[in-house]
Amino acid sequence: MNMNALTRWVLVLVASAALLSGCPVPLPPTYDSASRQNVGEHIPDFIVNGETTRDDVLLRLGEPDGRGPGDRWFAYGSHYSKGGVLFVMAAGGGAGAAGVESIRFRRLVVRFNEKGVVADSAFVERVCPRYTFGAGGRADVSAPCIDVTVDDAPGSAPLMDSGIPPGEHVVAVYENVVWAVTLRGLSITERRIVPGTLSLTDRSLVFEGKRAETDGSPAVLRIPYADIAHAQSGLFNQILIHLPGNVIQAFDIKQAGTTPPDGLAGGDVPRFDESPPRSVVGFINGKVGAR
Amino acid sequence: MCAPSWRSFALVCVVVAGCATAPVGRKDLLEFLDDGATRREDVQLKLGEPTAQYDGLRVLAYRLVKDDAGYVIVGQRNNWYGVQYNLMLVFDGDGVLRRHSLVEIRSP
């Protein structure tokens, strides 16, 4: 047995001893207080591709938990605890708690065509453990195993298009960019990163990357400037793209961009070779008319 | 010795009574909604700012709870805590209500 395995076993033994010495409190099955309850166990029968409208979906299911640029997709999600146990420990004037629950996540994503009619929809249900640890006045909860507010499932992604459309001219390309995908639960969030390349065209921002942390599947995000409210510089080399519905996409730009030989020419071409975030933010805001 | 105890007891009673909330809902809150007649301005005057809007102002959404007295509008929040219903209102191009529904989001 090597040292890592031994250390792991010691930690497991210590944690087990701590848990077994606490008072177990059963956690009954219930929906999370922040979760909606009207996501069924399959795609609702009223949703028919090519027939059901965006209005029909809103009238039957209510506000979505997530919405894509231009309302091209809606996501409806729920968190349901199937029960678990919480161990409460008190010793030496302090108290702590650790627990585990089995959570059923459901996510329904409905995509619409340009006429506002359902193009297709996807349903995912997954049951995963949720760990809670609290001590000293603060509590930590493990992240949800799926984001119920967006469709980030490999192979299906309403935010994702096929990359740079024909007819769009690439103005600048940034390599080694990181798309910081926010994995949102209804009460907690976790950020995952996707490395790739960010291209600015004359009409849209296109990110092409691979999901390094999961299955390596392609992750392509295209945001037309028309869908952007405004862009903003974040901490360090980050840019924040603000979209309708309080959606923010964040990119970390580590190095200067390059302008392709066939990129746009003229006085409106920013200097992409210095202070990447500022030049990108300025360029995008110039395109969307934001300050 | 007894007087302070009774005073404390009365104080506790007052504090605890303060935690109880009387129903504030209105049974007729949504009765003015009439497909084909109600205008968007009437809705916003009576219900206030919507919690969400879609396709510009063509579709408006409000969040509500229901107590013993009727419905209450719930303000903007990031999740469904304390919300029971979603009122969805679809208007036409002239701002007249065409369709509406009360969607149960969480069981009472």
Q: How many CB atoms lie within 10 A of CB A45?
A: 7
Residue among A37, A63, A187 minimizing CB distance to B106: A37
Q: Which residues of A touch B106 (CB under 8 A)?
A: 31, 35-38
Residue among B51, B81, B104 minimizing CB distance to A38: B104
Is the minimum CB–CB distance between B103 and chain A shorter than 8 Å? yes
Mean pLDDT by 10 residues, chain A (291 residues): 56 60 86 93 96 97 87 90 88 79 92 92 89 77 75 42 73 84 51 79 85 62 85 83 74 77 48 67 82 42
User: Is 50 exceeded by the pLDDT of residue B1?
Assistant: no
Task: Mark yes or no for CB contact B86/A63 under 8 Å.
Answer: yes
Q: Which alpha helices (H) appear in A178-266, and where do they start and end? A: none
Please identify among residues 17-46 of chain B the ones whose CB lies closer than 8 Å to any CB of chain A: none
Q: How many CB atoms lie within 10 A of CB A61?
A: 24
Q: Residue B15: helix, strand or coil by DSSP? A: helix
**Tokens at A236, concatenated:** 């360090």
Q: What is the mean pLDDT of residues B56-75?
A: 92
What's the ipTM?
Answer: 0.83
Is the minimum CB–CB distance between B80 and chain A shorter than 8 Å? yes
Q: Which alpha helices (H) appear in chain A, and where do they start and end? A: 3-20, 54-61, 276-288
Could you state, in order of their start, the residue ranges of all structural domains in chain A?
A: 24-141, 170-288
pLDDT score at A10:
60
Closest to B91 in 3D by CA, of B51, B44, B46, B49 = B44
> What is the enclosing helix (H) or strand (E) of A204?
strand A204-210
**Tokens at A168, concatenated:** 């769009």
pLDDT score at B20:
57
User: Which CATH number is associated with domain A170-288?
Assistant: 2.30.29.30
**Tokens at B104, concatenated:** 């149960």
